[in-house]
Amino acid sequence: MSDNFKVKNMDINKLKIAIQKTGRLTDKTVELLKKCGLSFELYKETLTVNCTNFPLELLMLRDDDIPNYVGNGIAQLGICGENLVLEKEADVTVLKRLNFGHCSLTIAVPNNSACKEISNLNGKKIATSYPNILAKFLKKENIKAEVIKICGSAEISPNLGLSDAIFDLVSTGGTLKSNGLKPFYTVLQSEAVLICLPGKENDDIISQLLFRISSVMKAEQNKYVVLNIEKENISKIIELLPGLKSPTVVPLAEEGWVALHSVIPETDFWEKINKLKDAGAQGILVISAEKMII
Ligand code: ATP
Ligand code: ZN
């Protein structure tokens, strides 16, 4: 078969990544791939998008289809919610959790429900578009409840008398509230994940992309800090800012002073900044890092 063989504009020899065409994950997914240095242009209604500077093609799909497209090898990579990977029970490898698209799969009940503990779900009807995850959970907890499979808008089913509870994705809880429901039990915390076709984990292009994604994510989790300090206080500051290996120290024009460059994890950023000030740091400059290669 020729290297240039194409089916409906799809180069079947090129590595493909399936991503959500339009939805909650689309913007962040595209942003991540662009931050990885991939160059491509999205056009409405196109199924395939070519990267011009990396051997990869984007397949623009409904999120529900992504796990199976990857599991069947039509795409070798995909980005979708972990919720769908588990629900579709597709044979894929999760390469990386991507720290966006956070939501939970939660059982919710009407505000006036008498349910207090999960055993109270025995004999109840639960509507969901995630029947597989729910059935597994009920089995594990030894609860005999009826799973009513629906496609979307589970939140209206208790009001319509179709079910006693629902099992659905929740992020802020606003939709539950406006339908007179309250969260009852969270079964799964989900986020977007990078998945691949089993056996492709060590593919060269996939490893390169994973390396770029990891570098972008590490940079997002850290801040680059530059500050001035009197030489005599250096050891106190180095204790607070160990840096990647050790901080960079550069002499200032003013005698007795140095500038110190280091990296702080985003998680304890404010706590560290206050401690640095207390230790005598001045002129603290905080810069977002674009990529971190370590
Ligand atoms: P599609 O047209 O691609 O089938 P969809 O309407 O099924 O889209 P979206 O609502 O765009 O899907 O959600 C995509 C993913 O975003 C979910 O599978 C989930 O992983 C994640 N997500 C994050 N927060 C929420 C939320 N509050 N509700 C639903 N999904 C959420
Ligand atoms: Zn969907």
Tell me the pLDDT tens digit for each residue of 64-79.
999 999 999 999 999 9
Ligand 1 and 83: CB distance under 6 A: yes
The pLDDT assigned to 5 comes to 45
Does the pLDDT at position 95 exceed 50?
yes
- pLDDT tens digit sequence for 120-151: 999 999 999 999 999 999 999 999 999 999 99
Average pLDDT over residues 246-268: 90
Q: What is the pTM of this model?
A: 0.90
Helices of type H across the chain = 26-35, 66-71, 82-88, 131-140, 174-178, 204-220, 234-240, 269-278
The pLDDT assigned to 64 comes to 97
Which residues have their alpha-adjacent CB atom under 5 A from ion ligand 2? 63-64
The pLDDT assigned to 271 comes to 87
Average pLDDT over residues 228-251: 86
The pLDDT assigned to 290 comes to 87
Check if the beta carbon of residue 37 is closer than 8 Å to that of residue 208.
no
Of the candidate ranges 31-45, 81-95, 232-246, 277-291, the one whose mean pLDDT is the lowest: 232-246
Amino acid at 260: L
DSSP string for residues in 266-292: GGGHHHHHHHHHHTT-EEEEEEE-S--
What letter would DSSP give residue 180? T
Does the pLDDT at position 267 exceed 90?
no
- Choosing from 20, 106, 169, 195 the residue with most ligand 1 atoms within 8 A of its CB, the one to mutate for a pocket test is 169
Report in angstroms the alpha-carbon separations of 221 from 52, 123, 154: 28, 46, 35
The pLDDT assigned to 246 comes to 78
The pLDDT assigned to 244 comes to 67
How does strand 6-7 pair with strand 10-11? antiparallel
CA 28 / ligand 1 centre spacing (Å):
12
CA nearest to 21, candidates 38, 50, 3, 46: 46
Helices (H) and strands (E) in the chain, counts: 8, 17
Which distant-in-sequence residues (6+ apart) come within 8 Å of 253 by Cβ?
A: none
The pLDDT assigned to 126 comes to 98
The pLDDT assigned to 4 comes to 44
Ligand 1 and 62: CB distance under 6 A: yes
Report in angstroms the alpha-carbon separations of 183 from 91, 132, 166: 31, 20, 9
Average pLDDT over residues 198-215: 96
- How many Cβ atoms sit within 10 Å of the Cβ of residue 218? 16
The pLDDT confidence band at residue 3, using thresholds 50, 70 and 90, is: very low
Domains (ranges, CATH) in the chain?
Answer: 3-100+192-219 (3.40.190.10), 103-190 (3.40.190.10), 222-288 (3.30.70.120)
Average pLDDT over residues 259-283: 89
